[in-house]
Structure 1
């Protein structure tokens, strides 16, 4: 808008028909002139447009994405940490697998309710008792079984297939453990074991330590460093570390220990299988 009268209220000028007509009469001839010098001289005679607002003092606050960015970075960090842990676990499992030992189950330790395979690599619960000769090494009340081989002052590793089972117990046990009547399965009594059922996994320490339930657990690796007092358990298929017990006081030869648990009406009838490292 251009000013013709010197008034300062732009809105009033724009709304005034007389003002608009006068402005049109003054500007229209200029739009048809071919004399450029006359146009510039005449155009300078028009008053400057009214002062507009100074926007330099106006602050515009864009929406803040700080919270979203922080959450995204936290999630990224968590994902990276998980991937790094998986990589470390996989490397660790590969390292301990080199200490694999070939072990077989000892029929003299199996109770009358257990069946061993011909290659003595598998055990499952039969549900009925059979007549067996009494043996001081045999478990009588619980479905536990040890291997023929024992280990002391050494490092060893073995794997057990637990696929299709709803309950089991694995680990190692001292040579002098109780094998008759009521048995308490704790390190104090000579057992270092991991127990699994539909409620999750438990390391049976002097105080039970409950672990998250791992989906589709098919094979468990057990690693023992006798001199360091260490027992570790691994999810072999996922290549993930499950749990480690440290500061263990073994003192005696150790035997790999398996328990297939009750068959639970057939739902837990699959065997535990000592499997070779793949």
Structure 2
């Protein structure tokens, strides 16, 4: 069964040991676990998707403090984090929970306005 985390994090986040992934700790991500989708907010926010995404788009406007995740399969918005003030370096974040999660491909997408 597929299980993964996908998003961005501050360059300075703790990477070893037990870490709670939330914006307060420098993580902005969504999760698929046990067939259910979650936004890693505090507390976690359950997500309802119309269609299972085969591709997920992450759209970051650093200056505006906006981060959205979109289902590139059907063009729908998965989740938008509340407006933030980002500072410092941000890094991509992806984690496959098991070998059964399948392949992960990172693709370059032309800038498109979905909404």
What interval of TM-score do these two structures reach, taking the shorter chain for normalisation? 0.7 to 0.9
User: Which structure has the higher relative contact order (CA within 8 Å, separation 6+)?
Assistant: 2
Looking at secondary structure, tell me which structure has more strand per residue: 2
Distance in structure 2 (CA, Å) of the matches to 1:261 and 1:214: 23
Q: Does 1:235 align with 2:67?
A: no
Q: Secondary structure at the match of 2:69?
A: strand
For this pair of structures, how many residues does the alignment match?
110
Q: Secondary structure at the match of 2:106?
A: strand
> Which residue of structure 1 lines up, in the alignment, with residue 16 of structure 2?
180
Distance in structure 2 (CA, Å) of the matches to 1:199 and 1:213: 11
Question: When the two structures are superposed, what TM-score results if normalisation uses the length of structure 1?
Answer: 0.37
Looking at secondary structure, tell me which structure has more helix per residue: 1
| Structure 1 position 256, deviation (Å) | 1.1
Summarize the alignment of residues 126-205 of structure 1 with structure 2, pairs less than 5 Å apart: 166-205=2-41
- Which protein has the larger Cα radius of gyration, Structure 1 or Structure 2? 1
> Which residue of structure 2 lines up, in the alignment, with residue 275 of structure 1?
107
Distance in structure 2 (CA, Å) of the matches to 1:257 and 1:249: 19
Distance in structure 2 (CA, Å) of the matches to 1:217 and 1:187: 23
Runs of 4+ in 1 over 3 A off after TM superposition: 213-216
Q: Secondary structure at the match of 2:41?
A: coil
Going from structure 1 to structure 2, the CA distance change for 1:204 and 1:216 (only over 3 Å counts) comes to closer
Summarize the alignment of residues 1-278 of structure 1 with structure 2, pairs less than 5 Å apart: 166-263=2-99, 267-268=100-101, 270-277=102-109
**5+ long unaligned stretches in structure 2:** 111-115
| Structure 1 position 241, deviation (Å) | 1.1
**5+ long unaligned stretches in structure 1:** 1-164
Distance in structure 2 (CA, Å) of the matches to 1:176 and 1:256: 13
Distance in structure 2 (CA, Å) of the matches to 1:205 and 1:275: 26
Aligned-pair Cα RMSD in Å: 1.7
Q: Secondary structure at the match of 1:194?
A: strand
Q: Secondary structure at the match of 1:273?
A: coil
Describe the superposition over 1:96-153 as per-residue Cα deviations: whole angstroms up to 9, x where unpaired: xxxxxxxxxxxxxxxxxxxxxxxxxxxxxxxxxxxxxxxxxxxxxxxxxxxxxxxxxx
